[in-house]
Structure 1
């Protein structure tokens, strides 16, 4: 039985990804990035918010994919934000100094508002 692992919602050039699986595995992350790349190419999306509130663990391979995607997003002058990270996930981004690369927000609404100006 295939379960829904994430949902996408697009409004103009902003895409919100609600991740509904934990731990976040490399296969799911690759599927998410493939979908986001498609939206970037075809729908002019340049701002991406990942709602991480259900994610308890993110492996290094997923972070690597996210960093690669960030490089693509930077080419179109876009941004990626992570919203509602659990403390251990947030700690991982801070200890690796990736909080300097990705915007981290306490909640989804704050991320949706802040990503345009950050």
Structure 2
């Protein structure tokens, strides 16, 4: 396998690329350490970060939340020690969680709690 991390690649944007394309919303964001794809976490309804791993084979993600710098390896289901990635390190601090603000439904907590696993 080639190196699962490319520290020179910037993130694909400030929100989940796939949710943005579909007009959806997310809970927390994760960044692919290989290509910079920003996707929503496994607690989000669409789980786009994990879907990106399954479709691309890029197993390492980093939290894209302000103040968090941990990495996760989907292939081992465990934490991973990774280098500093290209800036920015997170979505803007003013961006709401969940987000984006104008697309988050009023009953978002119930939707997340009642999602089909």
Q: Same fold (TM over 0.5)?
A: no
**Whose Rg is larger?**
2
Structure number with higher helix proportion: 1
Q: TM-score, normalised by structure 1?
A: 0.29
Higher strand share: 1
